Amino acid sequence: MNTKTQSLKNKLGVMLLALGLLTLGSCQNKDAKPTKMTADMAEKIVVKGEAQAELTPPPFVPKPVGKREATKLFVNLEILEQEGEMVDGVKYMYWTFGGTVPGSFIRTRVGDEIEFTLKNHPDNKLPHNIDMHAVTGPGGGAASSLVAPGHEVTFSFKTLQPGIYVYHCATAPVGMHIANGMYGLILVEPEGGLPPVDKEYYIMQGDFYTKGNYGEKGMQPFDMNKALKEDADYVVFNGHVNGLVNENAITAKVGETIRLFVGNGGPNLVSSFHVIGEIFDRVHVEGGDLVNENVQTTLIPAGGAAMVEFKVNTPGTFVIVDHSIFRAFNKGALGMLKVEGDENEKVFAGKIKEGIYLPEGGTIQNMPKTETKKVVIEDKTLAQQIADGKSVFTRTCFACHQSEGQGIEGIFPPLAKSDYLNADVNRAIKTVINGLQGEITVNNVKYNSIMTSQNLNDQEIADVLTYVYNSWGNNKTVVSPQMVQKNR
């Protein structure tokens, strides 16, 4: 081999080696993940401009931050102590951030400089402050924000880490201030913003402790002994039993992707957050960077939060619950997501077959009965009966027969415009007292399920049936306690 040929081969080898290194470097750059922003990096971000923060009441959230640069953000939040309604006829003195429970939703991004002004309304009775879990500083800001009625205080901080964070009052006794409704959420979006979705909503769970038991009428004061025992009378979404149902339900359309910012104010109970009939596509566990996929129920600690995302594929009413399930159906931790759109039988075809299953043959299966407590029969007006009956319905009948008496298709019959109810009031009374099993026909549709006897006194049965008969297109029958007594 001559010298010229050898030189040519050497040059070709060098070129191939360079090309290989270039290709390798290109592949490595392609696969390389972007550098994750740290708190130290966020601390050095220079803000540009100023803006007034948009604050929203639940279940709404402000506009996404998107790709805006870090800015100086002014937040103005007012503390209000005001009377509200826990459930029909039950009054409670809430302590609030912004006049709602939970408090106003605050939306920021990493690197923002927040100038936070907290105002304590002159009509309030107590001093308050705010501890923001998004703050890196003494007390989460609580040490700098104690404010007396009729005064305001301003403090500042920089958002260093993305996530969804709880804020709450931290004035002693801290548990009492939180238990009266003083909590909310602040979102810190990452640089570049969160991925877009079709709908976003704000939900926060809280447990409440009252002198009276669930449903007892009138103004109910806070009960410290129950709070210390963690014996909650109410566990609710967005401040009260009806905070997320009926006209307060959140909505979507088939095909949309939903993002829920879910917090738990506590003060005591952990939330087992679940949407019946849906699976969470993505869960930002505890509101941080860790993402879990295909999740049925997610735990949210007291003082914690999570972001859950899912696509809705079928129409209907999807019930939102704390899956510590007695809280949902007996203490108020129940909400609704109403989805409109076309049916999708590829995903859910509904009932395709019906039959009779009697594992014990033709033997009559008796349902257990419990003794009904005796109470003094009240002389109520029709309006009082309807109002009290609605309260009984909400805590006793709602789960099976639904908010508008529509029932659950193929399982529990409707109470709305019910020919079965309207035809025989005594039969209806006996059904509530004794329960019912076997096949019945309601509005030309056959149902075959079991209703257990209800442990209600004569007055409660009279009230709830009067409410049902005077709702949803029924015949306006008025049921008295004496009528119930005669059917026992």
Residues annotated within a binding site: 128, 133, 168-169, 177, 182, 323
Which is higher by pLDDT, 374 or 289? Answer: 289
Task: For residue 447, give the nearest of 412, 481, 407, 401 by alpha carbon.
Answer: 412
The answer to whether position 160 is within a domain reads yes
Which is higher by pLDDT, 163 or 362? Answer: 163
What CATH number corresponds to the domain at position 184?
2.60.40.420
Instruction: Indicate if the pLDDT at residue 440 is higher than 70.
Output: yes
Collapsing DSSP to helix, strand or coil, 188 comes out as strand
DSSP state, 222?
Answer: B
Q: Read off the pLDDT of residues 180-221 as tens digits, 9 standing for 90 and up.
A: 999 999 999 999 999 999 999 999 999 999 999 998 999 999
139 and 260 co-located in one domain:
no
Lowest model confidence (mean pLDDT) among 85-94, 119-128, 237-246, 358-367: 358-367
Lowest model confidence (mean pLDDT) among 1-15, 26-40, 65-79: 1-15
pLDDT of res. 24: 44
Q: Which of 288, 313, 340 is the last residue of a domain?
A: 340
Instruction: Indicate if the pLDDT at residue 33 is higher than 70.
Output: no
Task: For residue 160, give the nearest of 29, 70, 287, 270 by alpha carbon.
Answer: 70
The answer to whether position 128 is within a domain reads yes
164 and 288 co-located in one domain:
no
Instruction: Indicate if the pLDDT at residue 2 is higher than 90.
Output: no
188 and 271 co-located in one domain:
no
**Cβ atoms of residues 307 and 292 within 8 Å:** no
243 and 188 co-located in one domain:
no
pLDDT of res. 290: 94
pLDDT of res. 427: 94
The answer to whether position 32 is within a domain reads no
Phi/psi at 305 (nearest 5 deg)?
Answer: -155, 170
Lowest model confidence (mean pLDDT) among 3-17, 258-272, 277-291, 383-397: 3-17
pLDDT of res. 22: 44
Q: Read off the pLDDT of residues 272-289 as tens digits, 9 standing for 90 and up.
A: 999 999 999 999 999 999
333 and 438 co-located in one domain:
no
Q: Read off the pLDDT of residues 463-487 as tens digits, 9 standing for 90 and up.
A: 999 999 999 999 999 999 999 999 9
The answer to whether position 212 is within a domain reads no
Q: Residue 325: pLDDT band by 50, 70, 90 thresholds? A: very high
What CATH number corresponds to the domain at position 401?
1.10.760.10
84 and 147 co-located in one domain:
yes
pLDDT of res. 364: 46
Average pLDDT over residues 387-401: 84
Cβ neighbours of residue 183 closer than 8 Å, sequence gap 6 or more = 97, 101, 102, 103, 166, 167, 168, 169, 204, 206, 263, 265, 266
Average pLDDT over residues 122-143: 96
Residues annotated within a binding site for Cu cation: 128, 133, 168-169, 177, 182, 323
The answer to whether position 433 is within a domain reads yes
396 and 475 co-located in one domain:
yes
Which parts of 312-444 are beta strand (E)? Answer: 316-322, 334-340, 436-442
Q: Which of 340, 372, 400 is the last residue of a domain?
A: 340
pLDDT of res. 355: 62
298 and 444 co-located in one domain:
no
Instruction: Indicate if the pLDDT at residue 159 is higher than 70.
Output: yes
pLDDT of res. 368: 52
The answer to whether position 57 is within a domain reads yes
Q: Read off the pLDDT of residues 20-31 as tens digits, 9 standing for 90 and up.
A: 444 444 444 445
Residue 258 carries which side chain, given as an amino acid letter? I
Which is higher by pLDDT, 56 or 391? Answer: 56
Average pLDDT over residues 387-413: 83
Residue 229 carries which side chain, given as an amino acid letter? K
Which parts of 20-129 are beta strand (E)? Answer: 50-52, 55-56, 72-87, 90-97, 105-109, 113-120
Instruction: Indicate if the pLDDT at residue 136 is higher than 50.
Output: yes
Instruction: Indicate if the pLDDT at residue 178 is higher than 90.
Output: yes
Q: Which of 199, 234, 264 is the last residue of a domain?
A: 199
174 and 236 co-located in one domain:
no
> How far is 270 from 324, CA to CA, in rounded Å?
9
> How far is 477 from 473, CA to CA, in rounded Å?
11
Domain that holds residue 404: 382-486
Please tell me the pTM assigned to this model: 0.74
Which parts of 141-219 are beta strand (E)? Answer: 152-158, 163-168, 183-189, 199-208, 218-219
- CA dihedral angle for residue 104, residue 108, residue 111, residue 113, rounded to 10 degrees: -50
pLDDT of res. 239: 97
Cβ neighbours of residue 74 closer than 8 Å, sequence gap 6 or more = 50, 51, 52, 53, 115, 117
Instruction: Indicate if the pLDDT at residue 453 is higher than 80.
Output: no
| Residue keyed to tokens 């009031």 | 425
144 and 67 co-located in one domain:
yes
If you average pLDDT over every residue of the chain, what do you get? 89
The answer to whether position 106 is within a domain reads yes
Number of domains in the chain: 3
244 and 182 co-located in one domain:
no
The answer to whether position 211 is within a domain reads no
Lowest model confidence (mean pLDDT) among 22-36, 156-170, 429-443: 22-36
pLDDT of res. 42: 80
Instruction: Indicate if the pLDDT at residue 50 is higher than 80.
Output: yes
274 and 416 co-located in one domain:
no
**Cβ atoms of residues 391 and 459 within 8 Å:** no
